[in-house]
Chain A
C-alpha cells in the first residue's frame, strides 16, 4: 500500500513533469484513481494514460 513518502515522491514527480501542462488535472485525477486501485490490488486497464501507469509502477511500494 502506498505510504505518505511514496505518495509525496510520486506527486512531486507528476507535478514536476506535467504540473504546468493543460493535462495536469486529468493526469492527477487518473493517478489518484490508479493508486486507489493499486492499493485495492486491482489491475489498471487500458483506459489509464501510459504516463500514469508508468508513474505508479515507478513509485509503487517495494517497486
Chain B
C-alpha cells in the first residue's frame, strides 16, 4: 500500500472517531462562540470599543479554541499501542501524521473559521474586515495546528492532563498572531492588507516544510 492510500484510510478513521465524540469536537467551537458573545457584557456595548478590540479578540479566542483539545490528539493511540505500531513503518508514520493534522484542522479549526463571519456581525465589523479576518484565520489556524501537533508530540510522555501545549506553543505563534491581527484591522481594501497575507503565506510555507519533519522525527525517536 502506498502512502496516499494509507493517508486516506487513516483520515477516514480519524473522521469516524471524531464524529463519534461530537462533544469533544464542539468544545473549541463552544468556547469560541461563548467568549465572543460575552465580550460586550464585559466591556460595554460601545461599538467603537468592540470594533477596535473585535478582530484581535476573535483571533486570540480562535487560537485558544483550537488549543483546547490539544493534549488528547495522540494520547488514545499512545495508550492503546496503535502509535507504536505505526511508528515502525515509515510510510505509515508520515501518512498517520498528515491524517491527524488534517483531521485536527477539520474538526477544531474549520468550525471556528466558518462561524467567524456570523459572529463578526455581533461587532458590526465591515465586510472587508470579515473577509480578511476569515482568510488570515484560515492560514493562521493551520499554522497553529502544525505547532499544536508538534506540541502534543512533545508532551506525549507526560502522564497527566495538562495545558503544557499552550505554554509551549503560544510564544512561537506570536508572530502569526501579530501579522494576522495587523491585517484584520483595515476596514477598507488597500494595498497593505495583502502584503500581510503574503507574509502569512510565507510563514505557512516555511512551517509546512519544517514542522512535519520535526514532528515525524520526534514521533519516531520518542517511541523507540
Q: Are A and B a genuine interacting pair, yes or no?
A: no
Residues of B participating in the A interface, judged by any CB pair closer than 8 Å: none
